[in-house]
Amino acid sequence: MMLSIRDLRVSFEDSSGDSTEVVHGINLDLARGESLGIVGESGSGKSVLSLATIGLLPGTARASGQIMFEGQDLLTLPEKQMCGLRGRKIGMIFQEPMSALNPAMTVGAQIAEGLRLHKGMSQSDAKTEALRLLEMVQIPQATQRINSYPHEMSGGQRQRVGIAIAIALKPDLLIADEPTTALDVTVQAEILDILDDLVTDLGISLILISHDLGVIARISDRTLVMYKGDEMEHGDTERVLRSPQHDYTRKLLDAMPSRARKSLDQTGMEGPHA
Ligand SMILES: Nc1ncnc2c1ncn2[C@@H]1O[C@H](COP(=O)(O)OP(=O)(O)O)[C@@H](O)[C@H]1O
Ligand SMILES: [Mg+2]
Q: List pLDDT tens digits, range 128-157.
A: 999 999 999 999 999 999 999 999 999 999
Asked whether residue 131 is domain-assigned, the answer is yes
pTM: 0.92
Identify whether 226 is part of a domain.
Answer: no
State yes or no: pLDDT of 177 exceeds 80: yes
Closest CA to 106 of 186, 51, 161: 161
**Confidence at residue 68, expressed as pLDDT on a 0 to 100 scale:** 98
Whether 69 maps to a domain, the answer reads no
pLDDT tier at 260 (50, 70, 90 boundaries)? Answer: low
Mutation to probe ligand 1, out of 22, 94, 232 (largest number of atoms < 8 A from CB) = 22
| Nearest ligand 1 atom to alpha carbon 229 | 14
Give the mean model confidence (pLDDT) for residues 172-194: 94
The distance of Cα 153 from the centroid of its chain, to the nearest Å, equals: 22
- Determine whether the shortest distance from the Cβ of 44 to ligand 1 is under 6 A: yes
Q: In which domain, by residue range, is 126 found?
A: 97-170
Domain membership flag for residue 176 = no
Taking the CA of residue 58 as reference, the ligand 1 atom at the shortest distance is 1
Tens digits of per-residue pLDDT, 38-47? 999 999 999 9
Asked if residue 175 belongs to a domain, the reply is: no
- Whether the per-residue pLDDT at 251 is higher than 80: the answer is yes
The ligand 1 atom nearest the CA atom of 178 = 21
Cα separation values, 237 from 77, 92, 127, 214, 270, Å: 32, 22, 39, 11, 12
Q: Which ligand is nearest to the CA of 38?
A: 1
45 CA to middle of ligand 1, Å? 6
In a domain, 233, yes or no: no
Total of domains in the chain: 1
pLDDT tier at 203, thresholds 50, 70, 90: very high
The answer to whether residue 132 sits within a structural domain is yes
Q: Whose CA is nearest to atom 5 of ligand 1?
A: 12
Report how far ligand 1's centroid is from the alpha carbon of 48 (Å): 6
Contact indicator for 108, 116 with CB cutoff of 8 Å: no
Cβ density class 148-162: b for 16+ within 10 Å, e for less: bebeebebbbbbbbb
Å from CA of 43 to ligand 2 middle = 7
pLDDT at 264: 60
The contacts found for 115-119 with CB under 8 angstroms, 24 or more apart, are: 115/168, 115/169, 118/87, 118/88, 118/169, 119/169
Atom of ligand 1 nearest to the CA of 12: 4
Determine contact, residues 39/225, Cβ cutoff 8 Å.
Answer: yes
Residue 88, in any domain of the structure: no
